[in-house]
Amino acid sequence: MEDQELIDKLVKHELKFHELEQHVDAKKATELRRRTLEVLTGKKLQDISVFSLDAERAVKANIENLIGAAQVPLGVAGPVQVRGDFADGLYHLPLATTEGALVASVNRGCTAINKSDGAASFVIKDGMARAPVLKARNISHAKEALAFLEHNTAKLKEITESTSKFLKFKEIQSWVVGRNLFLRFVFKTGDAMGMNMATIATDKAVKFLESETGLKHVALSGNVCVDKKSSALNLIQGRGKTVISEVVLTREVIKQVLKTSPESMADIVYRKCLLGSALAASYGFNAQFANVIAAIFIATGQDAAHVVEGSQGFTTAELTEEGDLLFSVTIPSLQVGTVGGGTALGTQREALELIGVHGAGEPPGSNALKFAEIVGAAVLAGEISLIGALGARHLAEAHVKLNR
């Protein structure tokens, strides 16, 4: 069919948007959907039409009913000095955001870190979770099922690891509520963020449990994962990468770069990040984790919905005996990957290449761990700068200047 004939059918609802690829290639289908929307709405979609991503690749792995792209300004902060188990050097930080002052803020934090001999940054726990809910006949049956799990861990490890050469079984955490079993399967997933890998592996394990125990599969996700939601469980247990990052900021650096004092910054962290967050019953005992994580996630093709988990965590600041400031961030649930998902799209791939972490690492998993350490240092830089701005009473001035 000719282009106009297809558009007419779409306008008349004789053809659905998702059926276009049956008649034309992905790039042409994208154009025709967009032209149809212009007819239906009377609005020109000129800017949406301009993009460089591979439409064929995107519709296979990332998007349905593609019409174009939403562009977000991309800036760079740093470089920042990072010393970790996998990251060791100076790294530029690509940040995609529409919030003026954010890139400048992170950049200033990087300066403070670099003048203080760099940030130590480590991944202390690594495990992606998927938690199905299964239903037993009664509580006695639930108890029997738990015993079966305990005696068949090796078999479940064999079953789950058969689904991917990169997936490694770690453990099963279990909870019983009435006759309901919530089983949290935890895996290492190499350089992938791993949600799909964990889901596929868990599905195969659940089928085995159904056949062997008589448990009834209710839902492959029972919300104890906990995926893309705020939770005390992820704050305590972690999910994805648990990252800590730290720097000792000298009194002179704080005065020179941040225009405040160690005492003021420590006081703000205590009263704002700890007391204020506790009063609000918030799991984000920090100043702006989500700001930096969201900007890096959008730039590098991570799943932006996981920002809600990354926003949970702790900022701490303590005076040293020398009168300097020991400043740290702890991010219990950071979900990042350097392969899969949006990481293969053009601009996202380039952003990861800019950092030096795109693709599979050697050994497997090392690139994702390196990336997590660098993200931890970026979050540290953002916290330092914002707490410093509050101490110097520069926050409003910065936003007037850079975010109008």
| Position 10 in a domain | yes
Per-residue pLDDT, 8: 92
Confidence at residue 400, expressed as pLDDT on a 0 to 100 scale: 56
Tens of pLDDT, residues 32-90: 999 999 999 999 999 999 999 999 999 998 999 999 999 999 999 989 999 999 999 99
Confidence label for 198 from pLDDT (cuts 50, 70 and 90): very high
DSSP 275: I
CATH number at residue 101: 3.90.770.10
Do you know the residue count of the chain? 404
Which of 38, 54, 56, 99 is catalytic? The answer is 99
Co-location of 26 and 86 in the same domain = no
The single-letter DSSP state of residue 273 is: I
Please give the mean pLDDT across all residues of the chain: 95
Look at residue 346 and tell me if it is in a domain: yes
**Rounded average pLDDT over 194-209:** 97
- Which residue blocks in 12-122 are alpha helix, DSSP H? 26-41, 55-61, 102-114
Give the model's pLDDT for residue 398.
56
* Arithmetic mean of pLDDT, 122-146: 97
Residue 393, pLDDT score: 86
Domain assignment present for 248: yes
Least confident segment among 7-11, 338-342, 400-404: 400-404
Last residue in a domain, options 219, 250, 280: 219
Same domain? 212 vs 309: no
Helix (H, G, I), strand (E, B) or coil at 356: coil
Quote the pLDDT of residue 396.
55
Number of domains in the chain: 3
What's the CATH code of the domain at 165? 3.30.70.420
Q: Which of 92, 141, 394, 399 is catalytic?
A: 399
Read off the tokens for 96. 């995609």
Q: With a cut of 90, say whether residue 399 has pLDDT above it.
A: no
pLDDT tens, 12-38?
999 999 999 999 999 999 999 999 999
Phi and psi dihedrals of 347, rounded to 5? -70, -35
In a domain, 66, yes or no: no
Q: Report yes or no on 320 lying in a domain.
A: yes
Q: Can you give the residue range of the structural domain that contains 161?
A: 132-219
Structure confidence at residue 114 as a pLDDT band (50, 70, 90): very high
Q: How deeply is 315 buried, as exposed, middle or buried, from its count of CB atoms within 10 A (0-12, 13-18, 19+)?
A: buried
Residue 133 carries which DSSP code? E
- Helix and strand element counts for the chain (H, E): 16, 11
303, 350, 353, 394: which is the annotated catalytic residue?
Answer: 303
- In this predicted structure, the answer to whether residue 296 has a pLDDT above a threshold of 90 is yes
| 81 and 51 inside one domain | no
306 and 379 belong to one structural domain: yes
* Nearest-10 crossing angle of helices 195-213, 139-151: 120
146-179 pLDDT tens trace: 999 999 999 999 999 999 999 999 999 999 999 9
Which tokens is 345 given?
């799209």
Report pLDDT for 397: 63
Going from the C-alpha of 304 to that of each of 24, 265, 283, 296, the distances in angstroms are: 31, 30, 19, 9
CA dist 179 and 54 (Å) reads 48
> Is position 267 within any domain?
yes
Q: Do residues 192 and 118 touch, judged by C-beta distance below 8 A?
A: no
Whether the ω angle into residue 269 lies within 30 degrees of 0, i.e. cis, is no
Q: Is 141 a catalytic residue?
A: no
Q: What is the pLDDT of residue 325?
A: 98
303 is catalytic: yes
Amino acid making up residue 207: K
